Structure 1
């Protein structure tokens, strides 16, 4: 019997790698995409876990490359049963004087633009089949005031809002949509976002491992949940009180997280 196909973006490292690996362990074949040479090495691990793996190297900040990935997936002739729209990047620093405009525009292109594009293609296919599961990787930052991470936080708010709205739309087609909202996770995100010497980028990220976050996300997806905070107590607590905590208090907490770890 042929296996069902799962799609994961940002699958070469971090949460995306773990989502793909655990989907392989759960019996899915994979269509995976990421930017850079590490995708092929990751694919070997997914194959060792039992999956047939189709890799699509692409810079998902570029619309034509996202379209090319989707055309490649369609050419496989197997519909996507599970989609984890996960790829994302960040940037740290004061918006007016420190952070990079080029990086922040790349955040918009990747975290928002490619998310919309992949979601459009995937939701159309799943709506036509009247079945499927979509997991969006948002963030705890999607619900918090985040000085020195303004554009990243805004981009994840976009992802969370998109996920929640699509959940209600796709219910009519028998498709489940879930948002995964991790706290700080021990991945390379903090190096790419220039946060390796912040308190959150050193001690904070140790609270959550990508394998645990991925498992919590997939369990929530297959349980049909709207969203899930992942995975430690502090992340769950922060999510629980985000709606009632004043923005000024959230901002002060974030500023502490963003202080240098070494002085």
Structure 2
């Protein structure tokens, strides 16, 4: 069972009033969201509504025109990506890995910046202990892994950083339902270890089965914040929100 959000600490993530652009084209319009300590939250919406841009702002890869990003109560708006990682942010985006390196070598490489290399070795073993399937393939080249195993490797790399906030982008994309179910359970286990989680996901069913709360984004704006349980029980509400807040006309 996933952890309950804490009421006594600053949110793991607080994004407020973000306006962001690519050149002259504004993509985000006053976007705000939060993830409490120990909480799992989803950011939902179809392609092209600004979800990935929101992640770029959170990770420090895109400077917002205005607004703020706080990590654990600290204003991180002007921080470089590396400083955000040092503060506990870890992002899982895609299934990237060094194909010629083994699973264990990929995990070790992910901890290259750590000052304590002994800790890195211990963290690699801890990550492999959580993912028995990867542990069985620890000496296997990453290029030979299946799609689901590569996604496990991406999550395992996050563990090496021991994140306070784990941000996952579209981890179900292109994977079989049985694999996605296993990955959801692994994300719950990471949450049980103390990581707050933000999931950006197109699959509403996957997201709502995993998180406590959900935000819905449309055309660069957050148009709703709902309890996952309430949304899951109201398919008509989901349909309305995913259509930009407007009920489709019959016919």
Bigger strand fraction:
2
Task: Give the number of the structure with larger relative contact order, counting CA–CA contacts within 8 Å between residues 6 or more apart.
Answer: 2
For Structure 1 versus Structure 2, the TM-score category normalised by the shorter chain is: 0.3 to 0.5
Bigger helix fraction:
1
